[in-house]
Structure 1
Amino acid sequence: MDRTDTEKRRRALLAQTRSLYSEKSFSPAVHPRYRNAYNSLYGDGEDRESSGLFGLRVILCCLLFIGFVMMDNYDITVADVSSSQITEAVEEGVDVRTVWQEIQSLTGQEEAP
């Protein structure tokens, strides 16, 4: 009976040690004593996950730009829109209030106070 208690205790300590030095939640190069100071200076590592989304956004923007350049060079229209129409739409200023009123008039809703 005494032997199983010590075995359970060793397994619990091993699991605790693995969780302390796990690479999933903390930087393995930082000693546990200094982990709070490190996290206050450099963050918990949540920024690393958002960088993956940034890369995806950059790739998407590059693809859209390449598509626009191809539309302009080869005079291609996509969904009855040409590159000159896209350029004109970007150059003109958009008034959000008038767009909102147009959307409301199309849906048949009343104006907001």
Structure 2
Amino acid sequence: MAQIGTFGRDENGVFTGSIRTLTLNVKATIRPVDRDNDKAPDHRVFAGAVEIGAGWTKAARETGTEYLSLKLDDPSLPSPIYAQLVQGDGSDWKLIWSR
């Protein structure tokens, strides 16, 4: 698994950072949103004013540690990117890509 982003989290639960892949190099925010049903995302991912993804709050089976499961998409990508935003050292959060 490769790290494709680094984020910080503010007191309102908004993540701010950057996403870098071979086709993306953007400053991004991940904002909590109100859900209108059980399958709706808990978060929306934005590059500027453009929505590029959604996220769902999950918990690790073994430890119970919360993380965000993200789906990112952009017309420049051949298919969506699935990633997890996990807490790293201290206040840093790492965006880890998976296939």
Asked if Structure 1 and Structure 2 have the same fold, meaning a TM-score greater than 0.5 normalized by the shorter chain, the answer is: no
Q: Which has the higher contact order (CA 8 A, sep 6+)?
A: 2
TM-score, length of structure 2 as denominator length: 0.17
Say which structure is richer in helix: 1
TM-score, length of structure 1 as denominator length: 0.16
